[in-house]
DNA sequence: AGAAAGTACGAGCTTTTGCTCGCATTTGTC
DNA sequence: GACAAATGCGAGCAAAAGCTCGTACTTTCT
């Protein structure tokens, strides 16, 4: 895999293709999306697409990388020092709001995050996304409850991530009452995490 | 659509084909499953499959029907009169345990329930499954809290259903520590529903 | 200017997949 | 036994989708 030297035009094309992939994935899900459609959406021939991405999975991986970066940036803004001592409802707020915002701005990412259908070898980017989100949640929980076994913290973070993923679709497709569903998501997370904080010991 | 007269052999074939479809769907999900693979698994030619099922979606619909029936039966056994007054943790137990049991006995159904990838027109059976589960949960909630607006009850039931679906995959694929994940699922549901019961009013 | 590498095209290949069709066999009914 | 309907086969069609390849243009470097 000898690293290929890219010109400025090539970098622009890659971003363009990822934009198009995000749109196409968002419309019908990853499985139903076609590489030819992505190329067409980007106003480019299939051959050009494959100049920059080895295959369909590479497109997914590129998008996932974008997501991780966007999420990290959003959370960096939302976490000031001392976040760990906030009351639970406010903490959940600080976690959830940026995640929803990022998903609203990047419709394609939900198709990767909610990856129930992907063939096994293609699911790698989705798994990494899940792991990234769970990692963030886990580190916040660990900061609040330093005495808990890491294994318990991890399991709780995974469950919280899955709850988030489960409601994401409903939230994104809701129009007028989106805030209502977001409130339900927060309530579910608060209820679950409160039990973890008070229990276990 | 003139109803076709079926012989006993035909009924058996249909059941056989649904068994095969459940296996094949369970292995790689609905989208990746092929009708030829289903026919082969049933030890039958593709032509025979299409004698009984008009298309791939009809297979999904048939399986979904099985699921609804199995779930209804399981819940009928789990609900004695007076279930509505049980403490919340026990009530959640009575709801969750049969659902998990049914899913363990019928591996194919998860592929239908967790139908994030299906093309729009094929998602109908999955939607019906979700509606059936949410309906059951909703009626239990309504029995406990008769004074709440039906709309709130419905929304809560939908969220509970999605939480269930989100953790189903992890629970089914867990081996040794399945009970641990089931406990997390119950905790999440208890936490969320407790907030609904004490709040709102 | 000239060479080398990067970018771009798009027809079409290869494989997959849902599904069909003509025909043979089995079952139920009179 | 005879006829119709139901069941069964399996090669193969038509469309879709991931991807390739020969060719031509553009940018960069010396």
User: Average pLDDT, whole number, for chain B?
Assistant: 90
- Please spell the DSSP secondary structure of A111-174, one letter per residue: HHHS-SSS-GGG-HHHHHHHHHHHHHHHHHHHHH-TTS-HHHHHHHHHHHHHHHHHHHHHHHH-
Look at residue B1 in the predicted model and tell me its pLDDT.
44
**Minimum CA–C1' distance nucleotide for B5:** D6
Look at residue B77 in the predicted model and tell me its pLDDT.
84
For residue A69, what are the contacts with CB-CB under 8 A and spacing of at least 6?
none
Look at residue B125 in the predicted model and tell me its pLDDT.
84
Look at residue A116 in the predicted model and tell me its pLDDT.
63
Cross-chain residue pair B159–A165, CB shorter than 8 Å: no
Whole-angstrom distance, CA of residue B6 vs CA of residue B182 = 42
Is the CB of residue A51 less than 8 Å away from at least one CB of chain B? no
**CATH of region A56-198:** 1.10.357.10
Nearest residue in chain A measured CA to CA from B120: A28
**Section B107-126 average pLDDT:** 76
**Section B90-100 average pLDDT:** 94
Shortest CB distance from B194 goes to which of A156, A165, A191?
Answer: A191
When pLDDT is cut at 50, 70 and 90, the band that residue B3 belongs to is low
| Phi (first) and psi of residue B177, to 5 degrees | -105, 35
Asked if the model's pLDDT at residue B7 lies above 90, the reply is no
Shortest CB distance from A191 goes to which of B119, B165, B192?
Answer: B192
Asked if the model's pLDDT at residue A12 lies above 60, the reply is yes
Q: Within a 13 Å sphere around the CA of B45, how many CA atoms are in the beta-carbon half?
A: 3
**CATH of region A1-54:** 1.10.10.60
Least confident of A4-8, A114-118, B84-88, B188-192: A114-118
Question: Hey, where are the domains in chain B?
Answer: 1-54, 56-198
**Minimum CA–C1' distance nucleotide for B54:** C19
Nearest residue in chain B measured CA to CA from A157: B184
Best mutation target, A184, A196, A200, to test chain B (most B CBs within 10 A): A184
Residue pLDDT, tens place only, A119-175: 666 678 888 899 999 999 999 999 999 999 999 999 999 999 999 999 999 999 999
When pLDDT is cut at 50, 70 and 90, the band that residue B49 belongs to is very high
Residue pLDDT, tens place only, A47-95: 999 999 999 999 999 999 999 999 999 988 888 777 889 999 999 999 9
**Section B69-77 average pLDDT:** 89
Asked if the model's pLDDT at residue B40 lies above 60, the reply is yes
Note the residue count of chain B. 201
Is the CB of residue A114 less than 8 Å away from at least one CB of chain B? yes
C1' of D28 to CA of A42 (Å): 26
């Amino acid at each position: 895999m000898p690293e290929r030297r890219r010109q400025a035009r090539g970098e622009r094309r890659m971003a363009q293709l990822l934009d198009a992939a995000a749109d196409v994935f968002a419309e019908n899900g990853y499985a139903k999306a076609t590489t030819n459609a992505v190329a067409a959406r980007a106003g480019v021939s299939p051959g050009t697409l494959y100049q920059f991405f080895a295959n369909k999975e590479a497109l997914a991986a590129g998008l996932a990388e974008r997501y991780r970066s966007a999420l990290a940036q959003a959370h960096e803004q939302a976490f000031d020092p001392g976040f760990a001592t906030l009351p639970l409802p406010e903490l959940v707020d600080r976690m959830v709001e940026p995640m929803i915002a990022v998903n609203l701005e990047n419709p394609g990412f939900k198709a990767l995050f909610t990856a129930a259908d992907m063939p096994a070898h293609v699911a790698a980017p989705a798994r990494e996304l899940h792991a990234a989100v769970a990692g963030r949640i886990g580190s916040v929980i660990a900061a609040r409850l330093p005495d808990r076994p890491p294994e318990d913290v991890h399991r709780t973070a995974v469950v919280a991530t899955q709850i988030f993923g489960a409601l994401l679709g409903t939230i994104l497709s809701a129009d007028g009452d989106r805030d209502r569903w977001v409130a339900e998501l927060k309530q579910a997370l608060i209820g679950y995490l409160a039990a973890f904080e008070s229990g276990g010991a």
